[in-house]
């Protein structure tokens, strides 16, 4: 029985963040620090003919202006090998093509997207740097921009990456069962095109880098608003040809990330490089317009699916061909692409499945994973399919879900293909039909249906929509933890995964507290710094609780053993000992105890301590946890909307969720992750879209154009929980970070269809903005009228 | 550039500086006074992270020049906790209700709500939501911020 795991404890992080005493990158100020501003491409695709920096250089307070020719010793940013590796059995199963592609730190001969870095101005402060940046004259010769991925994939299309044969950067094909046979035997076949647009993650803190070269240690110090400081370290080491451990990267307080702050950007390479070259600290903080143009983007998938089903609602096969528009570079190979393929069928048994994907390069900002990383796109596909099948057969979508769902007794369930890590895709635990029942109860589904009938008679178009997902969480390869106990008895835990608001300092001290038998107040958790542990990965892919949580628990258990041995030596007993709130004693005589302080002192070396014969001094333990494969979290989401037919405006009135993330460490934090994820999902369902025009110009470069949901659009979500423990780590943890963002698009899109029924519309294209919905309504009304008159 | 002398009261202390007329108020607070609790999220007046109180009214620091604040009284997030470091009731409600995750937008919400709760001691949920609709939060989904306001205005949550 755990004492602190499972408890809604207040967060350790809060005090500094509530009093304005946190430390974000922008808050760092170093002696003699300069500031940098980037000159960025206004063209989507153009040759750089000339760069004239003379006028800019003349401004007082400018310390240097740098273009590609000044930094030729920096290697380009290439795809992240740590995330692109595929195990041999997966390679055999899906025959992937992954073409090498890269981005120069500053554009050399040509630019390939609006916002690409072309030059850097380093000056006394940002005001002067911006004055100078305005005077840098770049002469371009425009090239044909490629904006539509279907055009870009055509033979003979201009090349984005000129060393490639075409713009299809990656490709794979995965299949199980026999789709063609299923199609031949089906009662019904349907074809659908389903699209999720390009999105930005938009953390409230933009990106930012501060760097300094420490001449005493010959160490490159970097502070970055990053999810993956270790990836910055290894990428910097590669690009600048330096040893890894001569670079120290800190992610201080990070103001949100959601994925894109995990992809190393060119600024994270060139700012440290220039700090070393100019021998002075340099700071660069991205402004919001830069963020909207130049920070990595995400999603942008179009699926063409062919589906067969029977009269009784059984879905027998899905064949999917999808393209991902990755922008000018694909740094993460098949990360999102194969995530999409292996998650599409979710909670359903669909034995015949065939998925083929092309990742296409276009003249847009490069894409990287963003909360959900390929999952929201396919959950949208799958649950639109469920809804369309239900409407075709004139039954409630719930009946189609039930008909096709994996049952509790089927667990562990094998989906017949591989996970990206090469492990067979086998769900570890869960009861999806029970989750659906709970969701139906939570919203009182039958009552809603009755009420809906009445409201529709009054002209109020209300509807309900459902979505479900099964999410592989806690991806490896590993995460580590080091625990150190000092002679005062205080515990310090060091972890390699760095947070951006998830409350690592709180939850990992809860876990360590239970492992060690101390109060979480006696534990300090240190994260976000590459020197705390030699190796680490980062926070992304709903992985920190699973991997780092398991690492710290295993480390704590190892430490506990040593503590018990020392305590037994001090107490001169061979009885079994218990530890409670830092006191260690035999159960038979609790009045005779030693404390962690006693043990900490006893662990001092040589004669300073008092250790059992032969035991090594000090209390230091490191554990690296490597999961066998991912764990499977699951959820059912239900959205209730009212649609204004005249304006196409959607009012999201209620949102409910049933969720399983295995063992819950801190329920308050889990609920916060779910609510926050859903808010992002609501944004992508109804409001958010990065729009480029035909010339590749960005049309959504401010928050007046890229619409983020506010407090008026996000209801308080009703929640119910399941707790099916993972079988793949000792604590039974599954990941939760991304989940909330995965299902809202499908749930809301289906609710809109339901609200407008019997008018037949298909909400297959996100976001469902008022103008888009109004167009669909008009089209549906016209075809309805045409039917009437015929 | 010719400098301009300004004097104002910031968090109860008189401040006088010679500054460039083009200096933004947020940069003045953060870089001249080292009050880095006021965050800059969008620099075009939409996100509200830079919200401060100017003569008691919540305003966007990023949309003002420091020279415009000459003679004004300014309160920032650093003014909220007690002298002994004790969180004030609004800050306490935020930690009780888990109303912050990354915490970057939090100072802006706190300052918006400092004025709002003073003027609306007993708001409805709708009023609370409207009050914070000019502040963006990308982590929490707002529900727990609404909950904190209910707690601080002594409403049953």
CATH number at residue A53: 3.90.1170.50
- Sort strands A247-250 and A219-224 into parallel, antiparallel or unpaired: parallel
Q: Angle, nearest 10°, between helix axes A335-343 and A375-393?
A: 30
Third-level CATH fold of B89-152: DNA polymerase; domain 1 (1.10.150)
Question: Are A711 and B87 inside 8 Å of each other by CB?
Answer: no
Mutation site for B-interface testing, chosen from A710, A712, A718 by largest number of B Cβ within 10 Å: A710
Question: Are A676 and B139 inside 8 Å of each other by CB?
Answer: yes
Question: Are B141 and A20 inside 8 Å of each other by CB?
Answer: no
Question: Are A19 and B102 inside 8 Å of each other by CB?
Answer: no
Min Cα distance B64 → chain A (Å) is 15
Q: Angle, nearest 10°, between helix axes A770-789 and A744-756?
A: 40
Partner-chain residue, chosen from B40, B42, B143, that has the shortest CB–CB distance to A703 = B42
Mutation site for B-interface testing, chosen from A15, A37, A134, A204 by largest number of B Cβ within 10 Å: A204
Give the mean pLDDT of A357-368: 98
Question: Are A202 and B103 inside 8 Å of each other by CB?
Answer: no
∠A201-A371-A676 over CA atoms, to 5°? Answer: 80
ipTM of the complex: 0.98
Give the mean pLDDT of A769-785: 94
Q: Are residues A327 and A227 in the same domain?
A: no
Min Cα distance B53 → chain A (Å) is 15
Q: Determine the distance from the C-alpha atom of residue A760 to the mean position of all C-alpha atoms in its chain, rounded to a whole number.
A: 35
Question: Are A14 and B77 inside 8 Å of each other by CB?
Answer: no
Residue at which a domain ends, from A583, A599, A625: A625
Question: Are B37 and A11 inside 8 Å of each other by CB?
Answer: no
- 3-state SS class at A660: strand
Alpha helix (H) residue ranges in A295-431:
335-343, 375-393, 397-404
Partner-chain residue, chosen from A500, A703, A740, that has the shortest CB–CB distance to B46 = A703
Token digits of residue A403: 């008909």
A511: left (phi over 0), alpha (psi -120 to 50) or beta: alpha
C-alpha A450/C-alpha A635 separation (Å) is 25
Share of chain A above pLDDT 90, in %: 98
Helix (H) or strand (E) holding A575: none
Residues 6+ positions from B3 with CB-CB distance below 8 Å: B18, B19, B20, B21
Helix (H) or strand (E) holding A525: strand A523-526
Nearest chain B residue to A738, by CA: B139
Partner-chain residue, chosen from A18, A203, A676, that has the shortest CB–CB distance to B141 = A676
Partner-chain residue, chosen from B94, B132, B143, that has the shortest CB–CB distance to A18 = B94
Q: Are residues A332 and A467 in the same domain?
A: yes
Read off the pTM.
0.97
C-alpha A466/C-alpha A516 separation (Å) is 43
Cα dihedral A668→A671→A676→A679 (10° resolution): -140
Question: Are B41 and A710 inside 8 Å of each other by CB?
Answer: no
Give the mean pLDDT of A118-144: 98
Q: Are residues A529 and A611 in the same domain?
A: yes
Nearest chain B residue to A202, by CA: B138
Please report whether residue A573 resides in a domain.
yes
**Which residues in chain B have their CB less than 8 angstroms from residue A501's CB?**
100-103, 139
Instruction: Say what the pLDDT of residue A790 is.
Output: 66
Q: Determine the distance from the C-alpha atom of residue B154 to the mean position of all C-alpha atoms in its chain, rounded to a whole number.
A: 22
Give the mean pLDDT of A176-181: 98
Nearest chain A residue to B48, by CA: A204
Per-residue three-class SS string for A613-624: CCCCCCEEEEEE
Per-residue three-class SS string for A495-510: ECCCCCCCCHHHHHHH
Min Cα distance B137 → chain A (Å) is 7
Phi, psi of A88, deg, nearest 5: -55, -35
Q: What would the pLDDT profile of A612-665 be if each residue is shown by its tens digit?
A: 999 999 999 999 999 999 999 999 999 999 999 999 999 999 999 999 999 999
- Per-domain residue ranges for chain B? 4-79, 89-152
DSSP character string of A20-53: T---BGGG---TT-EEEEEEE-S-SSEEEEEEE-
Q: Are residues A710 and A579 in the same domain?
A: no
Min Cα distance A423 → chain B (Å) is 32
Instruction: Say what the pLDDT of residue B149 is.
Output: 98
Is A676 in the B-facing interface, judged by CB distances under 8 Å?
yes
- 């929640």: which residue's tokens? A719
Per-residue confidence at A302, pLDDT binned at 50, 70, 90?
very high
Please report whether residue A156 resides in a domain.
no
Per-residue confidence at A280, pLDDT binned at 50, 70, 90?
very high
List all residues of chain B from 14 to 33 with a beta carbon under 8 Å from chain A.
Answer: 20, 22-23, 30-31
- 3-state SS class at A10: coil
Q: What would the pLDDT profile of A202-252 be if each residue is shown by its tens digit?
A: 999 999 999 999 999 999 999 999 999 999 999 999 999 999 999 999 999
List all residues of chain A from 182 to 201 with a beta carbon under 8 Å from chain B.
Answer: 201
Cis peptide, bond prior to residue A412, ω within 30 of zero: yes
pLDDT at residue A472 above 70? yes
Nearest to A344 by CA among A310, A304, A371: A304
pLDDT at residue A1 above 90? no
Q: Are residues A229 and A353 in the same domain?
A: no
Please report whether residue A443 resides in a domain.
yes
Q: Determine the distance from the C-alpha atom of residue A769 to the mean position of all C-alpha atoms in its chain, rounded to a whole number.
A: 24
HSE on the CB side for A564, CA within 13 Å?
17
Is B103 in the A-facing interface, judged by CB distances under 8 Å?
yes
Q: Are residues A600 and A664 in the same domain?
A: no
HSE on the CB side for A258, CA within 13 Å?
36
- 3-state SS class at A315: strand
Q: Using alpha carbons only, how large is chain A's radius of gyration in Å?
A: 28
Nearest to A37 by CA among A290, A221, A217, A251: A290
List all residues of chain A from 653 to 672 with a beta carbon under 8 Å from chain B.
Answer: 668-669, 671-672
Q: Are residues A638 and A697 in the same domain?
A: yes
Per-residue three-class SS string for chain B: CCCEEEEEEECCEEEEEEECCCCEHHHHHHHHCCCCCCCCCCCCCCCCCCEEEECCEEEEHHHCEHHHHCCCEEECHHHCCCCCCCCCHHHHHHHHCCCCCCCCCHHHHHHHHHHHHHHCCCCCHHHHHHHCCCCCCCCCCCHHHHHHHHHHCCCCC
Contacts 24+ apart (CB under 8 A), A440-445: A440/A398, A441/A720, A442/A638, A442/A656, A442/A658, A442/A718, A442/A720, A443/A638, A443/A640, A443/A654, A443/A656, A443/A718, A445/A398, A445/A638
Low-confidence ranges of chain B (pLDDT < 50): none
Question: Are B76 and A20 inside 8 Å of each other by CB?
Answer: yes
Question: Are B101 and A502 inside 8 Å of each other by CB?
Answer: yes
Please report whether residue A254 resides in a domain.
yes
Alpha helix (H) residue ranges in A517-636:
544-571, 596-602
Q: Over chain A, what is the mean pLDDT?
A: 97
Instruction: Say what the pLDDT of residue B157 is.
Output: 54
Please report whether residue A160 resides in a domain.
no
Question: Are B104 and A680 inside 8 Å of each other by CB?
Answer: no
- Domains in chain A: how many in total? 3
Is B133 in the A-facing interface, judged by CB distances under 8 Å?
yes
Instruction: Say what the pLDDT of residue A83 is.
Output: 87
Please report whether residue A4 resides in a domain.
no
Residues 6+ positions from A725 with CB-CB distance below 8 Å: A429, A662, A663, A731, A732
A-B C-beta contacts closer than 8 Å: 179
Question: Are B103 and A15 inside 8 Å of each other by CB?
Answer: no
Nearest chain A residue to B93, by CA: A18
Cis peptide, bond prior to residue A767, ω within 30 of zero: yes
Question: Are B103 and A501 inside 8 Å of each other by CB?
Answer: yes
C-alpha A594/C-alpha A578 separation (Å) is 11
- 């999806």: which residue's tokens? A432
Cβ atoms within 10 Å of A238's Cβ, excluding its own: 16
Per-residue confidence at A86, pLDDT binned at 50, 70, 90?
very high
Instruction: Say what the pLDDT of residue B156 is.
Output: 59
Give the mean pLDDT of A497-507: 96
Per-residue confidence at A783, pLDDT binned at 50, 70, 90?
confident
Longest dimension (CA), chain A: 100
pLDDT at residue A462 above 90? yes
Question: Are A19 and B144 inside 8 Å of each other by CB?
Answer: no
Residues 6+ positions from A632 with CB-CB distance below 8 Å: A427, A428, A429, A430, A470, A471, A472, A473, A726, A734
**Which residues in chain B have their CB less than 8 angstroms from residue A669's CB?**
98
Per-residue confidence at A704, pLDDT binned at 50, 70, 90?
very high
Residue at which a domain ends, from A236, A260, A285: A285
Is A249 in the B-facing interface, judged by CB distances under 8 Å?
no
Nearest chain A residue to B83, by CA: A19
List all residues of chain A from 17 to 36 with a beta carbon under 8 Å from chain B.
Answer: 17-24, 26-27, 29
Q: Which domain holds residue A573?
A: 479-625
Residue A431 per-residue DSSP state: -
pLDDT at residue A81 above 90? no
Residues 6+ positions from A464 with CB-CB distance below 8 Å: A443, A445, A448, A449, A452, A638, A639, A640, A641, A751, A754
C-alpha A320/C-alpha A306 separation (Å) is 6
Q: Using alpha carbons only, how large is chain B's radius of gyration in Å?
A: 16
C-alpha A696/C-alpha A147 separation (Å) is 6
C-alpha A172/C-alpha A572 separation (Å) is 64
Question: Are B46 and A712 inside 8 Å of each other by CB?
Answer: no
Instruction: Say what the pLDDT of residue A569 is.
Output: 98
Min Cα distance B65 → chain A (Å) is 13
Q: Are residues A680 and A758 in the same domain?
A: yes
Residue at which a domain ends, from A234, A257, A285: A285
Please report whether residue A149 resides in a domain.
no
Question: Are B44 and A288 inside 8 Å of each other by CB?
Answer: yes
Please report whether residue A73 resides in a domain.
yes
What is the domain class of B4-79 according to CATH? alpha beta
């Amino acid at each position: 029985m755990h004492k602190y795991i499972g408890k809604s404890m207040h967060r350790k992080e809060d005090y500094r963040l509530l009093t304005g005493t946190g430390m974000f990158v922008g808050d760092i100020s170093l002696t003699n620090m300069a500031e940098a501003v980037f000159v960025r491409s206004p063209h989507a695709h153009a040759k750089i003919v000339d760069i004239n920096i003379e006028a800019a250089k003349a401004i007082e307070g400018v310390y240097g202006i740098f273009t590609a020719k000044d930094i030729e010793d920096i290697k380009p940013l290439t795809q992240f090998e740590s995330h692109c590796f595929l195990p041999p059995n997966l390679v055999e199963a899906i025959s992937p093509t992954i073409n090498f592609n890269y981005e120069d730190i500053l554009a050399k001969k040509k630019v390939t997207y609006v916002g690409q870095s072309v030059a850097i101005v380093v000056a006394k402060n940002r005001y002067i740097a911006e004055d100078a940046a305005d005077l840098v004259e770049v002469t371009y010769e425009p090239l044909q921009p490629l904006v539509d991925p279907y055009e870009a994939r055509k033979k003979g299309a201009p090349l984005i990456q000129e060393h490639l044969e075409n713009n299809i950067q990656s490709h794979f094909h995965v299949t199980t069962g026999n789709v063609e046979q299923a199609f031949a035997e089906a009662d019904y076949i349907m074809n659908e095109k389903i699209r999720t647009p390009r999105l930005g993650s938009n953390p409230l803190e933009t990106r930012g880098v501060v760097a300094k070269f420490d001449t005493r240690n010959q160490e490159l110090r970097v502070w970055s608003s990053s999810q993956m400081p270790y990836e910055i370290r290894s990428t910097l080491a590669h690009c600048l040809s330096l040893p890894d451990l001569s670079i120290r990267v800190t992610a201080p307080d990070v103001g949100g990330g959601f994925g894109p702050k995990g992809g190393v950007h060119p600024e994270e390479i060139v700012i440290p490089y220039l700090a070393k070259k100019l021998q002075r600290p340099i700071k660069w903080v991205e402004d919001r317009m830069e963020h909207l143009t130049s920070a990595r983007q995400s999603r942008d998938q179009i699926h063409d699916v062919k589906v067969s089903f029977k009269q009784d609602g059984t879905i027998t096969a899905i064949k999917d061909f999808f393209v991902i528009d990755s922008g000018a570079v694909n740094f993460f190979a098949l990360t999102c692409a194969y995530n999409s393929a292996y998650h599409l069928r979710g909670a359903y048994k669909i034995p015949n499945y065939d998925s083929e994907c092309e990742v296409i390069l276009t003249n847009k900002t490069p894409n990287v994973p963003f909360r959900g990383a390929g999952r929201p796109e396919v959950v949208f596909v799958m649950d639109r399919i469920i809804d369309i099948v239900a409407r075709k057969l004139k039954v409630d979508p719930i009946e189609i879900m039930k008909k096709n769902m994996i049952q509790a007794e089927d667990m562990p369930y094998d989906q017949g293909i591989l996970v990206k890590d090469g492990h067979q895709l086998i769900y570890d635990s869960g009861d999806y039909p029970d989750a659906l029942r709970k969701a139906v109860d939570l919203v009182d589904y039958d009552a809603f249906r009755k009420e809906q009938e009445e409201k529709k008679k009054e002209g109020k178009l209300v509807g309900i929509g459902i979505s479900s997902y099964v999410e592989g969480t806690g991806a490896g390869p590993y995460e580590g933890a080091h625990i150190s106990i000092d002679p005062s008895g205080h515990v310090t835990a060091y972890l390699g995964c760095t947070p951006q608001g998830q409350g690592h300092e709180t939850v990992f001290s809860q876990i360590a507290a239970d492992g060690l038998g101390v109060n979480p107040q006696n534990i300090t958790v240190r994260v976000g710094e590459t020197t705390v542990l030699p190796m680490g990965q980062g926070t992304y892919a709903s992985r920190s609780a699973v991997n780092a949580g398991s690492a710290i628990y295993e480390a704590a258990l190892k430490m506990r053993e040593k503590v018990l041995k020392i305590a037994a030596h001090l107490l001169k007993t061979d009885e079994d000992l218990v530890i409670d709130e830092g006191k260690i004693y035999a159960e038979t005589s609790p009045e005779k105890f030693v404390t962690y302080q006693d043990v900490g002192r006893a662990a001092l070396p040589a004669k300073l301590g008092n250790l059992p014969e032969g035991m090594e001094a000090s209390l230091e333990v490191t554990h690296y946890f490597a999961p066998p494969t991912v764990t499977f979290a699951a959820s059912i989401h239900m959205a209730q909307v009212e649609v204004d037919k005249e304006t196409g405006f959607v009012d999201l009135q209620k949102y409910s969720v049933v969720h399983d993330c295995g063992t819950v460490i801190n329920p308050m934090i889990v609920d916060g992750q779910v609510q926050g994820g859903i808010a992002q999902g609501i944004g992508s369902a109804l409001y958010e879209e990065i729009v480029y025009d035909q010339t590749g110009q960005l049309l959504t470069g401010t928050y007046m154009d890229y619409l983020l949901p506010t407090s008026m659009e996000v209801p308080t979500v009703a929640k119910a929980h399941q707790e099916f423990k993972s079988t793949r780590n000792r604590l039974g943890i599954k990941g939760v970070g991304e989940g909330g963002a995965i299902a809202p698009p499908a749930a809301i899109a289906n609710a809109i269809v339901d609200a407008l029924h019997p008018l037949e519309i298909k909400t297959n294209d996100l976001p469902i903005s008022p103008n888009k919905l109004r167009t669909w309504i008009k089209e549906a009304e016209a075809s309805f009228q045409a039917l009437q008159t015929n | 550039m010719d400098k301009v002398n300004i004097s104002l009261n910031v968090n109860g202390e008189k401040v006088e500086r010679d500054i460039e007329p083009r200096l933004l108020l947020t940069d003045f607070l953060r870089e001249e006074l080292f009050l880095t609790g006021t965050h800059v999220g969008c620099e075009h007046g939409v996100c509200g992270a830079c919200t401060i109180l100017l003569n008691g009214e919540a305003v966007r620091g990023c949309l003002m020049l420091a020279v415009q604040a000459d003679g004004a009284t300014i309160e920032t997030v650093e003014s909220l906790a007690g002298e002994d470091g004790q969180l004030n009731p609004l800050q306490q409600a935020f930690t009780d209700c888990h109303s912050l995750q990354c915490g970057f937008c939090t100072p802006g919400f706190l300052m918006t709500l400092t004025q709002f709760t003073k003027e609306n001691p007993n708001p409805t949920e709708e009023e609370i939501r409207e009050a914070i609709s000019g502040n963006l939060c990308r982590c929490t989904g707002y529900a727990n911020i609404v909950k904190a306001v209910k707690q601080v205005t002594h409403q049953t949550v």
